[in-house]
A and B are shown apart, each in its own frame.
Chain A
Amino acid sequence: MELVWQTVVNGWVTSFSYAVLAVGLALIFGVSRLANFAWGEFFMVGAYMVWLLYTVGGWPFPVALLGAMGVVAGIGLITEVSIFRRLRGNISATFMAATGLIYVLQVLVGQVWGVGRTKPVIPPLAGSLEIFGASVGWQRVVIIPAGIAMIGGLWLFLHRVKLGQALRATSQDAEAATLQGVNPNRMALLAMGIASAMAGAAGALLSPIYSVTPYMGTRIILMVFIIVVFGGVGSIEGAFLASIILGFTYAVITTLADSTIATIVSAVIMATVLAFRPQGLLGREKA
């Protein structure tokens, strides 16, 4: 029974860890048709910022979290303006540029702060949550309220705020939105800023429980991309739903077998679903 509860809590933790990353990625793809393969490296930079500001610099954790969000959002905005905007419309070219960015960020971080040992980040939240005999460290649980706040905030922004509605309009039909006076470049920038800040926050919040290395992004990127495709490319609701389905699948299989098998099963589920429903769970007709 304890194992069941343990798995349930782990399932939610895994789901929200992925959701924060996947929702942002889906938002960017919807608005600017950019498959940002360097997403794992954005996450990695967020984790490094926490190490730098919190562990080395001795700043309080919330400040380090905001710093990580700011720095990663900055990287997102700079790359959007200097690279991705110029390649807009050519999906394979933007994708390739993003793969180039993977190398650039990995090497820069590795050469500036050293490749060797993992960077220690002491969990700022001590103790653990006890439910029905199961025990999960607070540092792992904190991603759930943080994820609800960020994704909920994003949802409200997209549906209740005029600027957010413009963002959704661009995602649904960029041409029609442009005709209504929405500037697609500004929307792409806005989407990139919001999503990058979320990726930075995910890296920051998960840094105490992941080993912080320049290559930590490659571990997480596969699952995040599987989720975005499974949920329906460009669909934020789909990405969120897929995060929960695959997050739980992953947690259960990790408990029963191991994480490698869990990843393989997730990839097979995605491939099977796409073979019958190419647009994914909640995607529109043309993915």
Chain B
Amino acid sequence: MRKHNLSRPHAGLVVSIAFVCVVPFFLREYYVGVATELLIFIILALSFRVILTTGGWNLAHYVVMGAGAYFSAIMVKDFGWPFWAALPLAGLVAALVGLLLSYPLSRMREFAYLIGSFAMGEAIRLSWNRLDYPFGGPAGITDIPRPSPWSIPGLPTIDFSQAIPYYFLVMVVMLVCLFAMYRIDRSRLGDIFKSIYSQDILAENVGINVVANKRLAIVIGSFFAGICGVLFGHYHGSIDPAVFSLGPLIILLAWLAVGGIKTFTGPIIGTVFFVLLAEGLRPLAAWRPLVYGLVLIAVLLFIPGGLEGLPAMVSTWFKKLRRRIKRE
């Protein structure tokens, strides 16, 4: 069924992994931090794409990531759990939150879906704001520890409180998550999700349980969002309800809208684009959101498929141009 050139994407993959492995050694510590965050954001963008392949703009997604972050922060800091136990369990907790949200969401469409998901996310976020125990109220949770250092006999101790070791930790988790999500995307399940997006009535008629599959997509996406939350919380060392509010949510939407969601690389392109843009605009920090907003609107108006569709758009444009020249 799927015949595609195996050697080319693999070569590209090897080069990108090599690049990601080498690059922190050439960066200042601040930029290693930026790169770490970028890798976390890439998982988040792709986890959102899992849900988007069924067509659901689940605006509670950022809060679901926060649920993972809060769970892990509380377990590691207050209950002394090891980071490595909290990491997968936080994913499961986020998936559970996703499952709960998916019941009302699977019955909503269009406008109601957008607002319903946003409102339920806000309800969860406001409860973090309201409850001082265990969520720390508006101040949130501070002094979240990094994973404890690894001392392997014969090798230097790996101290995760330093920038580069934590970068590699995030990178390894990211590669595992991306591999898993890529396999899901390429599997039969991924095809089912996409069929729901393009033709939900047709999918239903060929015997696909649309509601159950929509829910499953939310649960899977939420799991990976929870993992992101853990990496994010232990990276920054503090989280509070404002971190997961409307402002950052808009940026998440912008990554996906600007990058595109048809292919696996679209969300990665969008995330990298916005992180680079943010760094480029650092001297104009106050104006940054304005630029984000204008870029988002411009891409929606002029490059409807997002940046991932740009090469195809340019090539058809050239073909048309060539044809016109030939005619003349």
Contact = CB atoms under 8 A, between A and B. Distances in A.
Contacts of B297: 83, 97, 100-101, 104
Interface residues of B, number: 40
B130 A229 contact: no
Contacts, number: 139
Given A96-B296, A99-B253, A100-B292, A287 B122 contact: no
B107 A275 contact: yes
Contacts of A286: 109
Contact of A278 (B109, B253, B292): B109
B111 A35 contact: yes
B104 A272 contact: yes
A99 B119 contact: no
Given A225-B118, A278-B112, A104 B57 contact: no
- Among B112, B294, B300, residue most surrounded by chain A Cβ atoms (within 10 Å): B112
Contact of B112 (A102, A110, A233): A233
A87 to B, nearest CB: 6
Contacts of A29: 111
Contact of B290 (A91, A103, A263, A267): A103
Contacts of B122: 222, 263, 267
A261 interface: yes
Contacts of B171: none
A234 B112 CA distance: 10
B116 interface: yes
Interface in B111-142: 111-112, 114-116, 118-120, 122-123, 126-127, 129-130
B253 A93 contact: no
Contact of B250 (A103, A226, A229): A103
Contacts of B257: 93, 96
Interface string A262-287: 01101110111011001010000011
Contacts of A92: 57, 114
Contact of A96 (B116, B119, B123, B253): B253
Interface string A238-271: 0000000000000000000010110110111011
Nearest to A87: B300
Interface in A105-133: 106-108, 110-111, 115
Interface residues of A, number: 50
A229 B287 contact: no
B246 interface: yes
A15 to B, nearest CB: 18
B286 interface: yes
Contacts of A83: 297, 301
Contact of A103 (B57, B109, B289): B289
Contact of A261 (B110, B114, B130): B130
A225 to B, nearest CB: 4
A221 B286 CA distance: 23
B110 A100 contact: no
Contact of A268 (B123, B245, B289, B295): B123
Contacts of B104: 271-272, 274-275
Contacts of B150: none
A93 B304 contact: yes
A54 to B, nearest CB: 27
B120 A102 contact: no
Given A102-B250, A275-B103, A97 B296 contact: yes
A218 interface: yes
Contacts of A99: 250, 253-254, 293, 296
Contacts of B269: none
Interface string B262-304: 0000000000000000000000001101101111110011001
B108 interface: yes
A108 B286 CA distance: 10
Nearest to B131: A260
A129 B292 CA distance: 46
Contacts of A102: 246, 250, 293
B126 A260 contact: yes
B300 A93 contact: yes
A261 B126 CA distance: 8
A115 B290 CA distance: 14
Given A29-B111, A35-B111, A260 B293 contact: no
Contacts of A263: 122-123, 126
Contacts of B245: 218
Contact of B293 (A103, A261, A280): A103
A104 B110 contact: no
Nearest to A226: B119
Contacts of A287: 108-112
Given A87-B301, A103-B290, A274 B108 contact: yes
Interface of B: 57, 103-104, 107-112, 114-116, 118-120, 122-123, 126-127, 129-130, 245-246, 250, 253-254, 257, 286-287, 289-290, 292-297, 300-301, 304
13 contacts: A35-B111, A83-B301, A97-B300, A99-B254, A100-B297, A103-B250, A107-B289, A111-B287, A111-B290, A218-B245, A264-B130, A268-B123, A271-B116
Interface pairs A-B: 7 shortest CB-CB: A103-B293, A107-B290, A100-B296, A267-B123, A100-B293, A103-B289, A275-B104
